Amino acid sequence: MTVTIGDRLGWRDIAQVGEGEALALSPAAEERIAHAARIVGRIVESGVRAYGINTGVGALSDTVVDRRSQRRLSRNIVLSHACGVGPLLAPREVRAIIAAQIANFAHGHSGVRPEIVSNLAAFLERDCIPDVPSKGSAGYLTHNAHSALVLIGEGSARVAGRPMHGRDALTAIGLAPLVLKAKEGLSLVNGTACATGLSSIALARAARLLDWADAIAALTLEAAGCQLAAFDEAVLALRPSRGIATVGASIRNRLSGSGLVAAALARRTQDALSLRAIPHAHGGARDVFEQSAETVDRELASVTDNPAILGTPDNPIVSSEAHAVAPALAQAADSLAIAIAQIGAMSERRIDRLVNPLVSGLPPFLASDAGSNSGFMIAQYTAAALSNENRRLAAPASMDGGLTSGLQEDFLAHPTAAANKLLSVIDNAEYILAIELMAAAQAHDFLEATAPRARGTEEIQLIVRAHVLHYADDRPLAGDMETLRTLLRDRSPPADI
């Protein structure tokens, strides 16, 4: 399937391109891009002073650049801004960033030539992935610059997975290095494409994670002999929340007809909060997810270049503004990171209830031969460590602050840092939930003779056992954890109805 840019894209579209879908522009989008390029061309001809076109950038915005030097300015901006460090971003993340950048250009207020956009689209179509370091961006700039390096035949990339110099990568996909014109260097490093692309990937992963969190929690609730009355629709409706209602319905559907739940009826007056409050924590995360997704979609609908090109070639308007700054996007990523971290923290507490013989009613640490076997004792340690790391990562990046560019950029919103941090939180939460899934399946193995599972949880149990076997201290648990984490990351759970 090809994702086509008409008026606008949403985060799901960007995530699909990240996963490998092609990207195309509608004729209307192509004309908008060309129109803005014609305006920039007229400004260059007339010599009207305009930021980033015939002036320096940042703290050098009042320095005039003569016409002969404007192309050199564009190239130099790309070279000087490619300051990223650290591990490379994953290919799907780079693809999503490029898709978000093309979407920004397609609004028709950037002033880059159509060739810039068509070459970026060719990167996606022909599997040319620029090497983009993950660290070094206080807001934007550095990540985009590393992709732009390849456009001009510099930097490095992977073509069909093969590493090569940027110029060789262009040759491999049938392109020649571009000579950038006025403003194009600035447009290529500018805007919020990096944070928006990364956030779109995070949303896609978070959506799948939240569905798995509900399914895994249902398996644990059944193994723990939960009191399902706390999940009644009328009871949960006392706290109005679409997220709570969604999670409550999912739990009820998955546990419908459970013999284990029926056998545990009235065993306790109420369950521990890590069981009873699942709709509240998971539902709260879903509500935050919806708000964050709306913010990312609004970012994709926005022009995030500075300056913005408006008007016509005969009446050009260059507006120096702050649309490349994205406090709302940073806040959205921070909020979702907190919500996902809380999901992981609650999951870790449920793991402890499954392995802890003081409360589980199951063999100690779910060991097949407690004493000579340690079972899931240390797997719970791993979950606790990851939950604690997420607690640290949940500190808001949007409040980091900082001063750059000789006091010209004296406020930083840090949306890229927030998005990267969110992805790290999701990494950890996937592992925690994989451990809970593994432990819950082991608990159910010990309950086989007690009563039948619900149809909804039986599906989950069968999926787990199709990937990993019952654990008897006969192999390293790390391999099982990786297997189930991959399952959670790449596949959605079966429907709950």
Provide the token pair at 268: 């306790």
Answer yes or no: 140 catalytic.
no
Could you tell me which residues come within 8 angstroms of residue 60 by beta carbon, excluding any fewer than 6 positions away?
none
Mutual orientation of helices 70-81 and 142-151 as an angle, nearest 10°?
Answer: 120
Provide the token pair at 288: 């935050």
Chain centroid, CA 393 distance in Å: 15
Check if the beta carbon of residue 192 is closer than 8 Å to that of residue 324: yes
d(CA 376, CA 473): 9
Could you tell me which residues come within 8 angstroms of residue 225 by beta carbon, excluding any fewer than 6 positions away?
260, 261, 263, 264, 267, 361
**String of b and e for 361-392 (b: at least 16 CB within 10 Å)?**
ebbbbbbbeeeebebbeebbebbbebbebbee
The closest of 310, 247, 304 to 277, measured between CA atoms, is: 247
d(CA 185, CA 74): 4
Terminal Cα distance for the chain, rounded: 28
From the candidates 51, 140, 431, 471, give the one annotated as an active-site residue. Answer: 51
Residue type, 132: V
How many other CB atoms are found less than 10 A from the CB of residue 112?
27
94, with CB counted inside 10 A (0-12, 13-18, 19+), is buried
Q: What angle do CA 350, 263, 230 make, to 5 degrees?
A: 55
Residue type, 206: A
Check if the beta carbon of residue 51 is closer than 8 Å to that of residue 320: yes
d(CA 397, CA 179): 36
Residues with active-site annotation: 51
